[in-house]
Amino acid sequence: MGRASDATAAPRLLEAAEAIFVEHGLDRARVEDITALARVSKGSFYLHFESKEAAFRHVVEAIVTTMGVYMESSLSSDGDGDVGNLGEYFERRVVKEAALYEYLWSSRRRIRLLLDGGKSSAFLHLMDEFADRARRNAVKVFEAGIAKGLYRSDFDVELASIYVAGAYDRLARHVVRLEEKPDFVAMLRLMQRLVLRGLATDDVLCVFDAPASTRQLRASLL
């Protein structure tokens, strides 16, 4: 009778592989280091993965999947509520975006692994693919915003998506390399203001140009 397989081997190997990749990068990582940390045999590793590159792809796909969940949540209209109160509406969007950047910060060593392609040129394209996915989602956000009367309809949506997605991508790359945690809500309020100043309708902009009687609302956005 054959020995039962270890059902925990694969997840332990992936957890160990991630730790080794974060520490050494893909090129310098060794299968022996991964199996030693996971407390399994080398044969068990090759039972689940054909190479360390295959294990790395599993690791980064898990990271990208989680990032995608946060990104989709930050860009979705779920929970945005009525746009009648523009101040509250855009503040809710900032809070949702902040959740994504909180995840990036808490997982910054893992995200840096992805940004660096595991310190291997063979995987540097992965972050570019994710950034293009974010850009396509930005197109949907602008189109939905135009339909709601939040954004003007006289700009090139594709070009605007490249500009805005690129700005948020650079912000993400900056955040994960910081030594101290920034104020994400304040940071994203500023980013939001820059986008709205360029693309929003007059009805939205008047929130920013409100008289002194509504200065408190204005301050909450700026």
For residues 193 and 139, state if they share a domain.
yes
Closest-CA residue to 75 (of 183, 161, 197, 190): 161
For residues 35 and 96, state if they share a domain.
no
For residues 163 and 91, state if they share a domain.
yes
For residues 43 and 65, state if they share a domain.
no
Cα torsion 114, 192, 215, 95: sign: negative
For residues 29 and 125, state if they share a domain.
no
How many structural domains compose the chain?
A: 2
For residues 36 and 86, state if they share a domain.
no
For residues 100 and 184, state if they share a domain.
yes
For residues 46 and 64, state if they share a domain.
no
Yes or no: say if 126 and 117 are a contact pair by the CB < 8 Å rule: yes
pLDDT digits (tens, 9 = 90+) for 116-126: 766 666 667 77
* Domain limit, last residue, from 19, 34, 50: 50
Q: How confident is the model at residue 221 (pLDDT cuts 50, 70, 90)?
A: very low
Cα torsion 145, 149, 150, 156: sign: positive
For residues 61 and 43, state if they share a domain.
no
pLDDT digits (tens, 9 = 90+) for 140-169: 999 999 998 999 999 999 999 999 999 999
Q: Which domain holds residue 31?
A: 1-50
Place of tokens 């956000």: 141
* C-alpha separations of 120 from 29, 33, 57, 83, 97 in Å: 11, 18, 12, 46, 30
Give the side-chain half-sphere CA count within 13 A for 64: 20
